[in-house]
């Protein structure tokens, strides 16, 4: 997965967010078309912002939709997918217009609940992970809550690489032998 932003300073922030994202727990069973997540991080005042949601694969007539962006951020006149189409309006102004280049299921990020809590301390990641232990959700820590969508996209990219669905597993096997998927239908 790659990104294109016109502003180099914003791109440096994107790279920092991706580097500092921590996945505390992964989904136990990959289900057909749904990737539940809990993503948390500090807001500008240091308070915890927790979003609970899922990435759900888009379907047309019950057929899963995959997207392949052709080109890349360094290829002139190539277009990626605007991040607004993946994360809706819940992104900082610096990311508006950012293009995402990837091959993956088309899965918009849906946030069911968003809560603001007390300041994060060193025990918060463990406490949040424990609180959601009864769910089959990934628990993701982002260094800046405004950039939550990038942290979730990073997690989903890792899932696609290490546990690809049937379409990606077939595609990767034709490219040179990525292992077959442990995908659960």
The pLDDT value recorded for residue 23 is 95
Predicted structure pTM score: 0.76
C-alpha span between 11 and 103 (Å, rounded): 21
Q: Is 76 contained in some domain?
A: yes
The pLDDT value recorded for residue 183 is 29
The pLDDT value recorded for residue 179 is 41
In a structure prediction context, what are the per-residue pLDDT tens digits for the chain, which is 185 residues long?
666 777 777 888 888 999 999 999 988 876 777 889 999 999 999 999 999 999 877 666 666 666 555 555 555 555 666 777 777 777 888 878 777 766 566 678 889 999 998 888 888 888 989 999 888 899 999 999 999 999 998 998 888 777 666 666 666 666 665 443 332 32
C-alpha span between 89 and 79 (Å, rounded): 20
The pLDDT value recorded for residue 113 is 94
Q: Is 182 contained in some domain?
A: no
Q: Is 185 contained in some domain?
A: no
How does 48-84 read in b/e, with b if 16+ C-beta sit within 10 Å? bbbbbbbbbbeeeeeebebbebeeebeeeeeebbebe
Q: Is 103 contained in some domain?
A: yes
Q: Is 98 contained in some domain?
A: yes
Contact 48, 142 (CB under 8 A): no
C-alpha span between 1 and 7 (Å, rounded): 19
The pLDDT value recorded for residue 107 is 74
Q: Is 17 contained in some domain?
A: yes
Q: Is 181 contained in some domain?
A: no
As for how many domains the chain has, the answer is 1
Q: Is 183 contained in some domain?
A: no
Domain that holds residue 136: 2-176
């Amino acid at each position: 997965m790659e990104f294109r932003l016109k502003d180099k300073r914003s791109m440096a922030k994107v790279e920092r967010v991706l580097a500092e994202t921590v996945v505390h727990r992964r989904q136990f069973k990959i289900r057909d078309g749904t990737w539940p997540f809990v993503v948390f991080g500090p807001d500008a005042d240091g308070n915890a912002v927790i979003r609970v949601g899922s990435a759900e694969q888009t379907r047309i007539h019950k057929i899963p939709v995959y997207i392949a962006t052709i080109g890349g951020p360094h290829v002139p006149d190539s277009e990626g997918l605007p991040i607004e189409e993946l994360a809706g309006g819940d992104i900082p102004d610096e990311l508006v217009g950012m293009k995402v280049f990837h091959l993956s299921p088309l899965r918009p990020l849906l946030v069911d609940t968003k809560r603001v809590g007390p300041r994060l301390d060193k025990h918060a990641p463990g406490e949040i992970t424990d609180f959601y232990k009864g769910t089959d959700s990934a628990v993701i820590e982002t260094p800046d809550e405004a950039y939550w969508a990038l942290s979730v996209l990073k997690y989903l990219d890792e899932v696609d690489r290490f546990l690809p669905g049937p379409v990606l597993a077939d595609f990767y096997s034709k490219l040179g032998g990525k292992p077959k998927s442990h995908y659960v239908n």
